[in-house]
Structure 1
Amino acid sequence: MTTTNKAAFGLSARAIDTSEFATIYETSECLFEYDNGGSRTFVMTDSSGVDFLAIQDGADGNVVIVELADAHESAHHHAREVLNRVF
């Protein structure tokens, strides 16, 4: 799969495939999962305590990872900002 990084407000969004997401899911903590029917959104934290979002497409299972610049910023606020500008 081709990975494309797109930056907005010092954040990045990158596409990954299902196998890479499985590895990330196993090594991170899922704080919240939202199933909206056509896709799923995961609010996650890595081993350093940095929050990030994973948005999984229900059709093919591929995922967009939204990484935050600052661990103390709101994942929800940045998700809206990135998704409104990237997609």
Structure 2
Amino acid sequence: MASMFFGGISGSATADTFSLGAIHIPMMKKDRYDTDFATTVTMASSIQGLLVPPSHDMVIYALAAGSVSIGRLFLAGL
């Protein structure tokens, strides 16, 4: 959930991975999760924020494309 909200606000999966990964990965390792698994979960969750409305990337894409509905992009994200 944290990755979804942070990625939606920042619009950057990279920023999400670096900022939340610094917190999530050590916490998961402390709970005895494998390092590869913790890293993979963090990376996979970081892209979810770009798909969930109100992602500003969707708005920018819709405005740049011209004929794309912002509402339909938000529904597709859901």
Global fold match (TM > 0.5): no
Q: Which of the pair is proportionally richer in helix?
A: 2
Provide TM-score, normalisation by structure 1: 0.24
Q: Which of the pair is proportionally richer in strand?
A: 1
Provide TM-score, normalisation by structure 2: 0.26
Larger Rg over CA atoms: 2
Q: Relative contact order (C-alpha < 8 Å, sep 6+): which is higher?
A: 2
